[in-house]
Structure 1
Amino acid sequence: MRAVLSKSPGGPETLVVEDVMDPTPAKGQVIIEVKAVGINYPDALIIEDKYQFKPERPFSPGAEVAGVVDAVGEGVKNVRRGDRVIAVPGWGGLAERVAIKADQLIPIPDGMDFETAAAFIMTYGTSYYALKDRANLKAGETLLVLGAAGGVGAAAVELGKAMGARVVAAASTNDKVEFALELGADNGLIYPSGPMDKAAQKELAGEFKLATGRDGADVVYDPVGGDYAEPALRAMDWNGRYLVVGFPSGIPALPLNLTLLKSVSVVGVFWGAAVMRDPAGHAANMRDLMAFYAEGKIKPRISKTFPLEKAADAIKALSDRTAMGKIVVVTED
């Protein structure tokens, strides 16, 4: 089978496509014939050894797949050959087949295609866990979403609206803000690209406060980090919850005196670890998300698809932060 391999640490240009041995299912595992792979920011980090997990090389990136069960290992009762399923292996997905534990599979609903299925779990799973379990977002509250046109940011915009919040979308270009408004955001603003000095950060804090209203944001969803974090924190309301999701712009140094003065909670969001620690909670969240999808309240926006041979270009497009919504790799032309 064909597989995209990381043989040494580095950017997308270090990836190669090679023929490798087909996997066989161990006890409790199935083999999925991969049809589509959702590309996520951890894919860019893991090949550079910058992610929380560091698999032994050579390995395939690709944390989120959709496909068909091709073989079933000993003891597997919950699925059978031919079932359409979604899986989140963490890595290994950028290949024509992948082995995964059967108890980690999620059935693909009728009417959902493989590309949509591959773009669904990680972004919505992360954002719903953040907003529901970590922030306890309530209807009527104001949610400020940074990076609102990216994968998790776009999901946060949709989910915030589905949960009854007033959503303010912030992004780096007019096109990205317009995209977020199309997803349902109530208001939007453009923030500057690149590093900001203290004066620029103070100005941005004022713009965030103006956009979120007199009292500021009840919840900040931050998958960006860097110089955007402090202005967002300054624009928060009393008892606000600041969600730490990611750091593509760098790890910020937050002034903790602001958390005291505003009684703000800074809350970490590590969805992958939460899934492993609380599988029952994860399953309940997945049921909620599938219900939102069935009701038409959420739907992945796939901006571009790439063939397996161009998977490196897909990861590069995500790393360059030029994509809006989700990027998907398909195994068949």
Structure 2
Amino acid sequence: MKALLCKEHGPPENLVVEEVATPEPGKGQVRINLKAAGVNFPDTLIIRDLYQFKPELPFSPGGEASGVVDAVGEGVTHLKQGDRVLVMCGNGAFAEQIAIDASRVIPIPDEMDFDIAAGFTMTYGTSHHALKQRANLQAGETLLVLGAAGGVGLAAVEIGKLMGAKVVAAASTQEKLDLCREYGADETINYTEEDLREGIKRATGGAGPDVIYDPVGDKFAEPAFRSIAWNGRYLVVGFAGGEIPKLPLNLTLIKGAAIVGVFWGRFTATEPKVHQANMAELLGWLKDGKLKPHVSKRFPLEQGGEAIRWMMDRKAMGKVLIEI
């Protein structure tokens, strides 16, 4: 089978597509013929040895995918050959096949498109967990989303609106902000053309946001946090902007605000029942047409490195997929 391989840590241009051995499912595992895989920001880090999880070289990046069960290992009873599934794997999804623990595989309905399944779990799962469990977002509150047109950002806009919040979307281009409007944003801030603090003041009538969803970090973190409302919750989701910010902690005292970490991967492992309930709610919303995942770009497996570069250069709007 073919796989996109990271053989040495470095930029996505170093990745290569090679023939590798077909994986055999062990006890408790299934083998899946993959149809599509989602590209996510952690993929840009793991290939450069900058992520908290560090697989041994060589490895294939890609943390989520969809496909069809091809073979079933000993002891697996809830999955069978031919089942349509989505896969959460951490890495290994940028390949034609994967063997993985059956506990990390979820059946999907026949009407669910493989592209939607491949790019749904990580972005929507992260944003749903962040807003529901970590921020306890309430109807009528104001939610500010930084990097709002990216994968997790656009999901946060959509879910925040569904939860009854007033949503303020901040992004770097008008094209991205127009997309955020389509997904429910009430107000927008172009932070390449407008000072972020002034934009927040304008968009919130001076009150500030109750919840800030921040997957960007870098230079936007401090001005955003300085604008937060009393008793606000600042969600630390990631650092797509590059630099990990250092916030003056006296601001938490002055604002009566909380800085809350969001580590969705750890959450799914330590609170699996809550995660399963979250996924059930999300899939229910999807089935009811309340969520409409946006796929902006598709790449073939042979151009997987270009897909990761597209993500690194912050060109993604919604989901970027690798079709296999």
TM-score by length of structure 2 reads 0.98
Among 316, 320, 324, the residue aligned to 1:323:
316
Q: Which runs of 4+ in 1 moved over 4 A?
A: none
* Mapped partners of 1:206, 1:254: distance in 2: 19
Question: Cα distance, 1:109 vs. partner?
Answer: 2.4
Structure-to-structure mapping, 1:279-318, within 5 angstroms: 279-318=272-311
2:43–2:62 CA contact under 8 A, matched in 1: yes
* Mapped partners of 1:110, 1:171: distance in 2: 35
Question: Cα distance, 1:214 vs. partner?
Answer: 3.0
Aligned-residue CA RMSD (Å)? 1.0
Unmatched 5+ stretches in structure 1? 194-199
1:206–1:235 CA contact under 8 A, matched in 2: no
Question: Cα distance, 1:192 vs. partner?
Answer: 2.0
Structure-to-structure mapping, 1:36-115, within 5 angstroms: 36-115=36-115
User: Which residue in the other structure is 1:214 paired with?
Assistant: 206
Amino acid at match of 2:11: G
* Mapped partners of 2:283, 2:183: distance in 1: 18
Per-residue CA deviation, residues 68-111 of structure 1 (Å, 9 max, x unaligned), is: 00000000001100000001100001010001111221111231
State how many pairs are aligned: 323
* Mapped partners of 1:165, 1:45: distance in 2: 32
Question: Cα distance, 1:176 vs. partner?
Answer: 0.7
Q: Tell me if 1:187 matches 2:187.
A: yes
* Mapped partners of 1:44, 1:5: distance in 2: 13
* Mapped partners of 1:293, 1:265: distance in 2: 31
Question: Cα distance, 1:204 vs. partner?
Answer: 2.3
Question: Cα distance, 1:23 vs. partner?
Answer: 0.2
Question: Cα distance, 1:137 vs. partner?
Answer: 0.5
Structure 1 SS opposite 2:232 = strand
Per-residue CA deviation, residues 171-206 of structure 1 (Å, 9 max, x unaligned), is: 00111111111111111010028xxxxxx9xx4212
Unmatched 5+ stretches in structure 2? none
Per-residue CA deviation, residues 110-158 of structure 1 (Å, 9 max, x unaligned), is: 3111111101000000000100010000111100000000000000000
Question: Cα distance, 1:13 vs. partner?
Answer: 0.5
User: Which residue in the other structure is 1:9 paired with?
Assistant: 9
User: Which residue in the other structure is 2:216 paired with?
Assistant: 224
Structure 1 SS opposite 2:82 = coil
Amino acid at match of 2:223: P
Question: Cα distance, 1:215 vs. partner?
Answer: 1.6
User: Is the deviation greater in 274-283 or in 209-218?
Assistant: 209-218
TM-score by length of structure 1 reads 0.95
* Mapped partners of 1:153, 1:56: distance in 2: 30
* Mapped partners of 2:102, 2:278: distance in 1: 19
User: Which residue in the other structure is 1:255 paired with?
Assistant: 248
User: Which residue in the other structure is 2:232 paired with?
Assistant: 240
* Mapped partners of 2:137, 2:205: distance in 1: 17
